[in-house]
Structure 1
Amino acid sequence: MRIIRRKSQVLLSIFKHAVEWQVTDKDRNPMETIKMSKSTNKQKKDFYRKHEIPKLFTLLEEYPLRHQLNVKLALEA
């Protein structure tokens, strides 16, 4: 979300200066109509509990080896 907000700020600044420098009409600033939500909620992270890991590994056996390795490597990180 931070990247989107930053890019929006850059575009807003570009169009604001374009209007100021009379490169474009005042009515032609598309960024003025965009409202960015003010998200205060951090993304909730969901972790596996120690007792859930063996069940996860059992379920992984049904999937191709590459998926098993991806999950196992992600758990190691």
Structure 2
Amino acid sequence: MRKQILLLALLLSISVLAGCLGGEEKWERVDAAEFHDLLSEDSNAFLLDVRTQSEWDDEHIANSYLIPHDQIDARSDE
């Protein structure tokens, strides 16, 4: 019986620690309708354009931010 309680306590501890280690996402992907709602409801919402610089220069949505897809990991703190 004591071994079962010890095993249960160990499994519970591992479960709790695993939940604590999960990081919070820095961004989330949404569709156009959700994005429109977010922009009107949340002052922290913004559009991140991940195309290339030349594609951005050709045209982009006003007030959006450019971080090319190959630089996202390196610039994730911005």
Higher helix share: 1
Provide the TM-score with structure 1 as the length reference: 0.28
Q: Mark the structure with the bigger radius of gyration.
A: 1
Provide the TM-score with structure 2 as the length reference: 0.28
Higher strand share: 2
